[in-house]
Chain A
Amino acid sequence: MTVNTQVLNDVTAFIWQEADLLDHKGYQEWLQLWSDDGLYIVPAEFAADDNYEDTLNLALDDADMRRMRVARLEDGESVSANATGNTVRMISRVRVLEAGEDLVIARCAMTLNEMRHGKLVTYPADVEYQLQPSADGFRLARKVVRLMHADSFLRTVSFIF
């Protein structure tokens, strides 16, 4: 098996960049990563199939919903967002599943840690990225965050996975 390490490096660099923006609350810059019709999806079941529109999700954000979600986190009106401390996420096991000219699909493992009211809460997840290559790097077309907690009970979330 050969791995195209150039594509892998490009994808991993993008995913790390995105992770860093979210952990450091660079939400406006995060919004700019997306293509206009991109979807940020957190399914309500770990193994949900990909018919997200006809399924209840924890989040199914188009551009409007992403903008509103960011506004909620930034405008100081949400008591839970204000109480959310830092998050630290770790990304590993990046694998490129498809590397087409118009679309690159990759999958990785993520563990997000949140300090919540003095207690560490950890969310392991399997994350899928659909990336559109462009002249100035990738545009984020789809991000699907499959949380292990989705099959059980989550704590409430006032950050972006």
Chain B
Amino acid sequence: MAANQSQPVMNKESKTMSELIEMQNVSLKAAEMVEEGRVHKSLYSDPEIFEEELDKVFNNTWVYVGHESEVPEAGCYKTAWIGRQPVILSRDRKMNLHVLQNRCRHRGATVCEGRKGKTKSFTCPYHGWGYGLDGALRALPKPEEYEGVFDKKDFPLESLRVETYQGLVFATYRDDIESLEDFLGGAKKWIDLFMKQGGGYPLKVLGEHRFNFPGNWKIQLENTTDAYHFPIIHKSFVTSLDDATADIFDFLHGDGFVEDLGNGHSVMVMIPELVDLEADLDQPIPARFEKLAEELRAEGKPEDEVKKLVRAAHGTGFNLNLFPNVSCSMAFFRVLRPVSVGETEIQHVALGGEGAPAPFNRKRMRLHEHFQGPMGFGTPDDGEAWERVHKGAQSGQDGWILVNRGLNNLHESKDGNVAGAVCSETGMRGAYRQYQKMMAAGEEK
């Protein structure tokens, strides 16, 4: 950022929604590019702001790194990212979880290149320094040259603060911020509800789809709390459904809502009758799940468990958006990683039940394949829209992106939060409020 910040980029008193602002030769302050009902396109396109986001957002809050079921046993690991920094989620011999910086303390090479697996140690390929699953530096070749120079115990892989909630593993570089549970706050209730889709079995990661798009990470962040787009961009998906299922997805006129849960988190309830998957278990089995029900009966499951599993197979009727990088979205986790100002990587993580009947997990995977991922019937159309938003963000005199939908129709939720209609942009406003707060840190005038 240039030192000269004297020229005001925006005057809230004098500008209306349609007025232009002069952006050239102005050093941008990201926090000033966010207003209650609009954000500026430079947040999608300015490389300096992107660099600042990595530092002020991703290095300063709880970031999702994985689910406990991905590292079920001692010795298991998976690699992940916190912004641009590679990390390893590992489980040591005592079953403790660790998130370690994936960087040898000697010359800085990564010590683990696998996506996931099981190992006894992490060994740097360059000079053979070996680290335990807890990050401790255990051994290195020809140690005598270090005698009196340093002590191995002072050079473990750098370790991040790790906390979990309901199997979701988060890490942060900050030792002095609130606990994960305090950070999740009002979102915890919704995480608890989300976990019920194991159908009575612990939730388990079954696999993941990985794709990227040429566009800024916040375009994806917004999308998970955007019901307005669904019947438009996903028309071809809805067409591929049977009539009863298509009716379920026709939710814009229903009783759904979006609730701002604080700290940038929000929930968008699209299908209220699928909020609690352990309620209303006496409902008849929908036609599209009749085959699954038959398979479960054939496995000897009693009818009450069949109904519970069938209802869970749907997934929940809501998207829970957790700032900044993960959402519990109906039936899967959506994890984003900012690669550059104009590139974002996304994982759509499929979920099932640990120990659940095979037909249940198969059905969950087939439903995931139908909509999600780079070859699903839904995701490619999202990707097309995001790519166009990114392209559009490079152009135009009026640089504002509107997030003011439903500002005229807010109410207080049962939990005392601001809420709006299901197709309101309440969740985006919540995310941008948190973003603004974090980006303004250290810039108090």
Contacts and interface: CB of A to CB of B under 8 A. Distances in A.
Contacts of A53: 362
Contact of A56 (B237, B240, B368): B368
Q: Is chain A's interface secondary structure helix, strand, loop, or mixed overall?
A: mixed
Contacts of B206: 56
Contacts of B72: none
A158 interface: yes
A81 B374 contact: no
A158 B350 CA distance: 21
13 contacts: A54-B361, A54-B365, A55-B207, A56-B365, A56-B369, A72-B240, A79-B381, A79-B384, A80-B381, A153-B211, A155-B213, A157-B375, A157-B380
A97 B168 CA distance: 45
A152 B383 contact: no
Interface residues of A, number: 31
Interface in A66-81: 68-69, 71-72, 75, 77-81
Interface stretch (A6-14, A20-28, A57-65): A57-65
B359 to A, nearest CB: 10
Interface in B199-244: 206-213, 233, 235-237, 239-240
A44 interface: yes
Contacts of B391: 117
A57 B369 contact: yes
B303 to A, nearest CB: 25
A79 B115 CA distance: 33
Nearest to A59: B375
Contacts of A158: 380, 384
Interface of A: 42, 44, 53-60, 65, 68-69, 71-72, 75, 77-81, 83, 117, 151-158
Given A68-B240, A75-B236, A81-B236, A156 B345 contact: no
A57 B207 CA distance: 8
Interface residues of B, number: 38
B350 A56 contact: yes
Given A44-B209, A156-B211, 9 more contacts: A55-B207, A57-B369, A65-B370, A71-B239, A75-B236, A79-B233, A80-B384, A155-B211, A158-B380
A144 B267 CA distance: 39
B48 interface: no
Nearest to A73: B236
Most chain-A Cβ atoms within 10 A of its Cβ — which of B239, B240, B375, B384? B375
B262 to A, nearest CB: 32
B335 to A, nearest CB: 12
B366 A83 contact: no
A72 B212 CA distance: 22
A104 to B, nearest CB: 26
Contacts of A42: 375
Contacts of A59: 369, 375
Nearest to A52: B365
B256 interface: no
B362 A58 contact: no
Most chain-B Cβ atoms within 10 A of its Cβ — which of A42, A154, A156, A157? A156
B209 A58 contact: yes
Contacts of B239: 71-72, 75, 77
B208 A56 contact: yes
B374 A68 contact: no
Contacts of B377: 68-69, 72, 78
Contacts of B362: 53-54
B207 A44 contact: yes
B385 interface: yes
Contacts of B383: 80, 155-156
